[in-house]
Structure 1
Amino acid sequence: MSDADADVDSGTDEPSVPDDLEPVRESLIAWYEADHRSYPWRETDDAYEILVSEVMSQQTQLDRVVDAWEDFLERWPTTAELAAADRADVVGFWTDHSLGYNNRAKYLHEAAGQVEAEYDGEFPETPEELQELMGVGPYTANAVASFAFNSGNAVVDTNVKRVLYRAFDVPDDDSAFEERANELMPAGRSRVWNNAIMELGGVACRQTPRCDEVGCPWREWCSAYATGDFTAPDVPTQPSFEGSRRQFRGRVIGTLREYDELELDALGHRIRVDYVPEGEYGRAWLEGLLSDLADDGLVEVEKRNGETLARLTR
């Protein structure tokens, strides 16, 4: 049994990130590069253009940002021109395009002035330096460093947290998310990696997942895909893991990975110590669990010579 299977089987809170990360990394990057949503800021490495997109995208749907981003850059194509603009005009633009809190427009205007006055028109390149700009917090600074200079850490937004929580059982803790996200990210590839994992969360691992529909590249490693529990920090929680159907679905999957097939009672005794064929947690309960897993395409159930046999879907 693999480490990931053991984590699913035991119900521990230890994250089940695979030991061999290369297949995990390469599968995600290949999936992203083969097909992804097209946004104009993904086609540039200009730090100013990326900063504008990041500030506009805060609590605003990306599809709504595209027109505003293009209009803004047409009007103020450089930090020099934005810095020279009347702040009231910048705030007015923000309001006209329904981009949310007007202080973001003020901060962006002031940040452009800092770039011109303090950095001779050249953007700083590291997350630490970028945070010196007005209104640029850790997340935005890291995003700009990643997408403009390929020098950032792993970006951890709501989508990324959802992916890590579901796929690798990372606990709902900001430091744990950051640690695992940076462990997964290949060195020197923050631009493509952060785009790819955010795309995974935005397209495949949404609040209502679309794993098979969009060909999620992490299905073979994903704890949620194996157990059928797609709870996440931003998705309503289910009952506690211990004793839950999620736990026993995971145990069924983990146990069947060790055997070609198992007879119903043999499987039952292996997944819970209180299994009694005619009891509350007996054959009827296990058949219901297997039926759910079969509906999800994860196991096959067969009647043979009066016995019920279960195996993983081949």
Structure 2
Amino acid sequence: MSDVESAEDADAGEDDPEWSLPDDLAAARKALIEWYEADHRAFPWRETDDPYEILVSEVMSQQTQLDRVVDAWEAFLDRWPTTADLAAADRADVVGFWTDHSLGYNNRAKYLHEAATQVETEYDGAFPTDPDGLQDLMGVGPYTANAVASFAFNAGDAVVDTNVKRVAYRAFDVPDDDAAFETAANDLMPAGESRVWNNAIMELGGVACTQTPRCDEVGCPWREWCHAYQSGDFTAPDVPTQPSFEGSRRQFRGRVIGTLREYDELAIDALGHRIRVDYAPDGEYGREWLLGLLEDLADDGLVDVDRSGDEPIARLQR
């Protein structure tokens, strides 16, 4: 590292009176990377730089614990190993896979299918390599685009997720502010090393700087720089809790898709009785509730609702 880079490292965050990064930032970076490379959780998507495989892992991980994602990720790639395979698939089959594996909102499966089609038809089978280009793919927002750019092409900015925010807040007193977290995360990351760095700092938050910290137990490499470790104050920004899946709107969306896969089409009352035992046409969970659910799924391009007859008919979009 040059003297100029070292000076810039030392000054990182210095203009903000509320927080500052270590004076010996190069040493802190080295310690974290060495800690990560010595031992980390062995998720299979960490062993590839294939952008398609990484995109699938990122989309699946949005609402699912990582340990549960592994089996679904491997099964998905066994069935559709390339973007060409996924683009050629029946979208209903892709959505059905999502439902069967309880992977969250089914529109993510639709968007993944459409993104694969874009890669094949608009990019000749080759992914864009930078975050801006990746955001042109259907359903790929700033976080996912940056993650794919980082892990597939080593060309991303710092990833800022809940784990990274918690680390920055505790270790360097970065305030609970998205702009501050973004600045701190990018100041921390060594240039040109987004792949290893983003994996390493997310691992730190995932196994060491957890909601109940495990600093000594897992040998956190940042103990000598960490304000929380020195003060004993391990408060952290509020972490949003994911709503319970059981009884949720998300669960019933999945049941609608799963039921419509079994039948070519269903009248609304027949569908309602199949997705919940307390369905009553005129009740709290009746036609009005179910039509609202179907309209959401229709907006996502997953179902069609035919209202031309006496009773609405629902069917999967193809």
Matches within 5 A, 1:1-314: 14-234=18-238
Write the letter of the residue equivalent to 1:93.
F
How far apart in 1 are the matches of 2:113 and 2:238? 32
Write the letter of the residue equivalent to 2:195.
R
2:196 aligned counterpart, secondary structure = helix
How far apart in 2 are the matches of 1:20 and 1:180? 15
Measure how far apart 1:59 and its partner are: 1.8
Measure how far apart 1:16 and its partner are: 2.6
The answer (yes or no) to whether the contact 1:219–1:225 under 8 Å persists in 2 is yes
Measure how far apart 1:235 and its partner are: 5.7
Measure how far apart 1:148 and its partner are: 0.1
How far apart in 1 are the matches of 2:238 and 2:59? 22
CA offsets, 1:127-162, max 9 Å, x none?
A: 000000000000000000000000000000000000
How far apart in 2 are the matches of 1:76 and 1:61? 22
The answer (yes or no) to whether the contact 2:162–2:239 under 8 Å persists in 1 is no
Write the letter of the residue equivalent to 1:51.
L
Measure how far apart 1:13 and its partner are: 6.1
Measure how far apart 1:88 and its partner are: 0.1
How far apart in 2 are the matches of 1:216 and 1:122? 39
How far apart in 1 are the matches of 2:22 and 2:206? 23
1:232 aligned counterpart, secondary structure = coil
The answer (yes or no) to whether the contact 1:111–1:133 under 8 Å persists in 2 is yes
How far apart in 2 are the matches of 1:51 and 1:176? 27
Q: Which residue is 2:293 aligned to?
A: none
The answer (yes or no) to whether the contact 1:13–1:171 under 8 Å persists in 2 is no
The answer (yes or no) to whether the contact 2:154–2:194 under 8 Å persists in 1 is yes
The answer (yes or no) to whether the contact 1:167–1:222 under 8 Å persists in 2 is yes
CA offsets, 1:212-260, max 9 Å, x none?
A: 0000000000010011111111369xxxxxxxxxxxxxxxxxxxxxxxx
The answer (yes or no) to whether the contact 1:162–1:234 under 8 Å persists in 2 is no
The answer (yes or no) to whether the contact 2:60–2:73 under 8 Å persists in 1 is yes
How far apart in 1 are the matches of 2:44 and 2:37? 15
How far apart in 1 are the matches of 2:67 and 2:21? 33
Question: Rg bigger for which structure?
Answer: 1
| Unmatched segments (≥5 aa) in structure 2 | 1-15, 241-318
The answer (yes or no) to whether the contact 1:207–1:234 under 8 Å persists in 2 is no
2:45 aligned counterpart, secondary structure = helix
- Please, what TM-score do these two structures have when normalized by structure 2? 0.70
Sequence identity percentage: 84
Write the letter of the residue equivalent to 2:145.
A
1:163 aligned counterpart, secondary structure = helix
Off by >2 Å, runs of 4+ in structure 1: none
Write the letter of the residue equivalent to 1:50.
I
The answer (yes or no) to whether the contact 1:13–1:170 under 8 Å persists in 2 is no
Q: What number of residue pairs does the alignment pair up?
A: 225
